Structure 1
């Protein structure tokens, strides 16, 4: 039997031929004391109406007040209540929508198509990815989406379907989709016991340079169990299931135009604790923003010139910086998107090349040091300290081979925090404080002129054997205890 609890308006709505599941009426859920304090409850609200102040609406509203995980949430009901509201949420689906209709076959006889979506499943394989993304955006059990074609396909309307209004031929599809939805997570996670909290760690097993290696992810799982946290390693396919967790920890390289940012936004919208939070991703992944932010607070940074596409930049750069000049695209990561120009010709060629992908780039003075400091910071406190040395015969920590895709990394040295120069720690803490109270990695250089901040990372490395070389498993425990603290703080806030 599934661990999900089905809530219906009338007992007759759940037919005898349906799955063997826990089913109660909405009236019982709203008034019976035994449902007030359910632990780790996962609910599916299948009421006949979700209109404002109806029983179905109150079901979702009180479920959230009781810290039960329910679909649809009140936020979803609100988003689906008006086309003016949900139109804002479907703009990001346009590219997938066009691909789904233009590149695949589907039953098209007119310029209008209605698609029924049950728990992210639809009857047309060509439109399945689109159906899953619509469910991920609007996690409502039963949806009807109307598409219309005028020059190109678009979503004309999204409506909520009621279980008691389904026609006979739809019941079999409904049961299959419900079974897939309720059993998938259970079969993947194979829980042996119920934990107090559920933490999802987003990772990408195929990522070349992930922020946490496989051994570190396993440690998060093991240490989490000792702290009564069920740590679940998820991938981008699990977007629609975020509401089932208490918190999200992103251990994949983040970017704004990327699903990692959408995960962070959805987690925030679902009132989950999330690291990296959307604001931190937004602030840290753009080097232009960081340069201006740190400069405005008089944090020591390399001399920086912001270049705008179409502007005359050569004389300006040469007036302010000496060769070689470091050039950066705003959203590079892991030493990607960072280049060095030794003279005017190289500068002109590389800037012209970079302007093809970005309207703004940065030019900075070149400051060579044999290593960079990385100070890990969590909730405005130092967590770890590492020196990352430049890779052999290269001026960066990571040397990328653009032809083969291979890379080389320099060696490292992890320090006790008490052995790190005090000014390095203080400058790092000050820099991160302007971003937020999340998990950050501040990169700094010790130069003849003093400490210089290179950047603040929202998604710093936490690799087994490197960043935890001093703290060992305690590094993972500190982070997980911070998640517990934030989860419990949210719980107290909503009581």
Structure 2
């Protein structure tokens, strides 16, 4: 059976010659779930209506329940049901639209129709792809208000049946391009059962995994029947072609990595990092509250919301102390201050960009422990040494490249039990994915500094002690969730 199945309200009225894929009536799809039992086809829902509780709506809803990927998803149907639900996408979309229109913004058409991320006006290709990244649907109709700055007044799902006759050739050509999946053959004797997407940016300065490390994983996964394919930030529309997603870019809920994670979650595919973990781990205020609520030891902390909190932080923590922007990463947005004047100056500057800061007791150590946790179980243990002549593991010199300290890998069996236990308890507060828990081992005990949702995982570093078992377990984590 074809990998793709087209759902149409009426099979008899559908142009079967326009597609090579199987066409099925929406009624039959809803009434006969046994038709695809044991199979995982990709569904393109071309029903006449996507209105709430219509057959088209239920087709997308039940496709998700049956473990099948469907376009449009129920989430997309709901997102486009009211302007306030997609309003946050408008600024980025309008910017792309106006760049494409250029000087012709005031003469833009009243409506644009986008077919599978493709527009008949090639100047608007980037806008069409971006719109499809936001709202993956067969046909999207965008209502415009032309002017010096062309405005988007409405985005709506449009049933294929409402397309004009002259539009259909473009629509079916776009559908053919979209469904022409290009899988890379796994370089192994074992046929690939699954294909995992790995989101990477080859130009990132401090990526969580190097390209060489990901190639090493691909070789191990290939022997297990899994193909690994790198994708980039422009490949969101292709994500449904894969079985799982491993994000290997620095994550942020304000950039494309969150959008990828959210889309993967909507598609029902296992993803590291998942959106909830991103939200929790990228904010140090949340982490501090969560750790304390679950009895996990953390450094003494004071939340700074305004200048009135500075004296309390100084009295409680003393100097030096560490001040952090809640969503900082890779030692950025983290500073040590040695006096009240330094604290006042730093807080005044940082509160211009963040409504909340946190100050923590300074705990000097020669290294930080990191415990890798996957699925609630320990994966690796590493000591990261402080960068030379610095108090952090990464030193960011103005205008220069980041300087990192050395490392020492430990087998899980040789890791101090107290460190391992603290790492596991901290990670389990967050979720079931992959986490890197940073800890300080002091005379007063073991303290959790933070939990990273996309920890470093490099060949020869984090896997130096446990070897390929690290990558094998990572692969199995995804596979177990695909088949469950």
When normalised by structure 1's length, the TM-score is 0.87
2:290 corresponds to which of 265, 277, 293: 293
Aligned to 2:15: 14
Shift of residue 37 of structure 1? 4.2
Matched residue, 1:119: 116
Q: Which runs of 5+ in 2 are unaligned?
A: none
What SS is found at the alignment partner of 1:462? coil
Aligned residue among 461, 467, 477 for 1:472: 467
Q: Tell me the alpha carbon deviations over residues 340-376 of structure 1, each in whole angstroms, 9 at most, x when there is no partner.
A: 1222332222222212221111222221111111011
Deviation at 1:133, TM superposition (A): 3.0
SS in 1 for 2:257: helix
Q: Contact conserved, 1:100 with 1:126, CA < 8 A, in 2?
A: no
The whole-number CA distance in structure 2 between the counterparts of 1:434 and 1:31 is 42
Aligned residue pair count: 480
Report if the CA contact (8 A) 1:385-1:417 is conserved. yes
The verdict on how the C-alpha distance between 1:415 and 1:97 changes in structure 2, with shifts beyond 3 A counting, is same
Distance 1:22 1:314 in 2: 65
Cα deviation digits, residues 103-122 of structure 1 (max 9, x gap): 84275557972110000112
What do residues 110-167 of structure 1 show as CA deviations (whole Å, max 9, x unaligned)? 7972110000112344543332233223321122121336997554333333434432
Alpha carbons of 1:7 and 1:341: their partners in 2 closer, same or farther (altered >3 Å)? Answer: same
Aligned pairs for 1:22-421 within 5 A = 22-26=21-25, 35-37=35-37, 39-51=39-51, 56-57=56-57, 59-80=59-80, 82-83=81-82, 87-98=84-95, 100-101=97-98, 104-105=101-102, 107-108=104-105, 113-148=110-145, 154-183=151-180, 185-186=181-182, 189=184, 195-309=192-306, 311-404=307-400, 406-421=401-416
Query: CA separation in 1, counterparts of 2:328 and 2:215?
Result: 28
Aligned pair in 2 of structure 1 residues 42, 466: CA closer, same or farther (>3 Å)?
same
Aligned residue in 1 for 2:477: 482
Does structure 2 conserve the Cα–Cα contact (< 8 Å) formed by 1:94 and 1:154? no
CA contact (8 A) 2:98 2:149 kept: no
CA shift for structure 1 position 279: 1.5
Q: Call closer, same or farther: CA 1:341–1:40 in 2, change over 3 Å.
A: same
For residues 256 and 383 of structure 1, what CA distance do their matches in structure 2 show?
A: 25
- Seen in structure 2, the aligned counterparts of structure 1 residues 209 and 45 have a Cα distance that, compared at 3 Å, is same
User: Secondary structure in 2 aligned to 1:479?
Assistant: helix
Partner of 1:447: 442
Q: Unmatched 5+ residue regions in structure 1?
A: 490-495
CA distance change for structure 1 residues 454 and 34 in 2, over 3 Å: closer, same or farther?
closer
C-alpha distance in structure 2 between counterparts of 1:30 and 1:292, whole Å: 46
Range that drifts further, 272-281 or 370-379: 272-281
| Offset of residue 257 of structure 1 | 1.2
Between stretches 255-264 and 128-137, larger displacement belongs to: 128-137
Matched residue of 2:102: which SS? coil
The 8 Å contact of residues 328 and 338 in structure 1, kept in 2 or not, is answered as: yes
Q: 1:66 Cα deviation (Å)?
A: 4.3
